[in-house]
Amino acid sequence: MITTSPALRACYLDTVSTIEEPLAAAIVERCPAVDQLTAQVLAAGVGAAAKLALRQWLHSTSAATSMKGFVVPSGSLPTLIRTALTPLAPALDGAATRLHPEGAHPAPHSCHIEA
């Protein structure tokens, strides 16, 4: 139903933006050397990547459906999200290294961000 209704699909995709604020807060909490603006920019990038991955996933449908009007997205959503996050890895790594200069090893549960 989400894939066949443009309004419903847009609403569903917009819910991804709700992760930005808590994600920015988590980045600041885990990486105290990262300023709030940088955390917000990184969180917005992650939100945009997730939204684009969802959009692509919802538009890639399987031809095999059991009921008329029922569309099944095909492919792996986790794989699409990982792929969409890949270009952000250098920025996320850069934020993480602000706390840990070259050669220093992060302490457990410190600033470590994985895409």
Asked, for residue 106, whether it belongs to a domain, the answer is: no
Nearest Cα to Cα of residue 24 among 35, 15, 13: 35
Asked, for residue 23, whether it belongs to a domain, the answer is: yes
Asked, for residue 70, whether it belongs to a domain, the answer is: yes
Mean pLDDT of the chain: 78
Asked, for residue 54, whether it belongs to a domain, the answer is: yes
Model confidence pTM above 0.85: no
Domain that holds residue 22: 6-97
Partnered with residue 81 across adjacent β-strands are none
Asked, for residue 75, whether it belongs to a domain, the answer is: yes
Phi, psi of 73 (to 5 degrees): -60, 145
What pLDDT is stored for residue 110 in this prediction?
47
3-state secondary structure of 58: helix
Q: Which helix (H) or strand (E) holds 70?
A: none
Asked, for residue 1, whether it belongs to a domain, the answer is: no
Asked, for residue 112, whether it belongs to a domain, the answer is: no
The total number of structural domains in the chain stands at 1
pLDDT, one tens digit per residue, over 42-65 is 999 999 999 899 888 888 766 555
Asked, for residue 113, whether it belongs to a domain, the answer is: no
